[in-house]
Amino acid sequence: MTKDTEANPTVTRRHALLGVTAVIAILAAGGAGYDLWSPADPAAAQTSPAGEVPMADLLVPGPLSDQIQGSADAPVTIVEYASMTCPHCSHFHETTYPEMKKKYIDTGKVRFIFREFPLDALAAAAAMLARCAGNDKFFPLVEAFFAQQKDWVVQKPLQPMFAIAKQAGFTQQTFDECLANQQMLDALKQTQARAADKFNVNSTPTFFINGKMFRGALTPEELDKQVAPYLKG
């Protein structure tokens, strides 16, 4: 099991009070915006994957509702908590996710739930844009941001982010309006805080496979190993 993760931010009351004005100011000023969510010691993320949570609790949707792929009757439910600026999350979505979708999601064996866990203001902005794109464009835009992560996780991110968002139908006006959506930012923070407080999510990516926790970017082989027992018979 890989231990490649990015550490969870420590969300202080001061950070939680920062709103969309702060997000936009941070992005316009340049940098990844760690002023909004200050990362904890990266060494804290280097722990062995462990833990299990009740499925009834895990499947309670957040304030923005869940983004889901796959059959509701699938025998396996995988929940991913990810940050759009996390390189290990990007690696998972470039390597393991396409195999998972083809082999398990599209065949009705896995229901996949993606939940945002933004580690910084830039990750929050990308998550907001994916949400604003609409349900039919959510996953394509998430995958575009992960695939082109090196292009927009830069000192001046607004223009490259807009270039990617334009492919999903954004105009400059809708792009700016989305990043100014305080209600959406608050909802992302609530989702993140619940994951940290209730499910002990402290790094990205974190996966729950039928309630069992795994930290780090699962490889296709690791995914097969964990899913196989639920598909027997």
Predicted local confidence at residue 155, as pLDDT? 87
Q: Does position 132 have pLDDT exceeding 70, yes or no?
A: yes
Model pLDDT for residues 42-99, shown as the tens digit of each residue: 333 333 455 899 999 999 998 999 999 999 999 999 999 999 999 999 999 999 999 9
Spatial distance between the Cα atoms of 175 and 140, rounded to a whole number of angstroms: 17
Round the average pLDDT of the chain to a whole number and report it. 85
Predicted local confidence at residue 232, as pLDDT? 80
Q: At what angle do helices 172-179 and 121-132 cross, to 10 degrees?
A: 120
Which token pair is 113? Answer: 């739930």
Spatial distance between the Cα atoms of 175 and 158, rounded to a whole number of angstroms: 10
This prediction has a pTM of 0.84
Mean pLDDT over 34-41 rounds to 38
Model pLDDT for residues 174-205, shown as the tens digit of each residue: 999 999 999 999 999 999 999 999 999 999 99
Q: How far is CA 87 from CA 42, 91, 185, 194, 223, in A?
A: 14, 6, 22, 23, 19
Greater confidence, 27 or 37? 27
CATH number among 3.40.30.10, 3.40.50.2030, 2.40.50.100, 3.40.250.10, domain 6-231? 3.40.30.10
Q: Does position 19 have pLDDT exceeding 70, yes or no?
A: no
Mean pLDDT over 132-153 rounds to 97
Model pLDDT for residues 93-117, shown as the tens digit of each residue: 999 999 999 999 999 999 999 999 9
Share of the chain above pLDDT 90, in %: 73
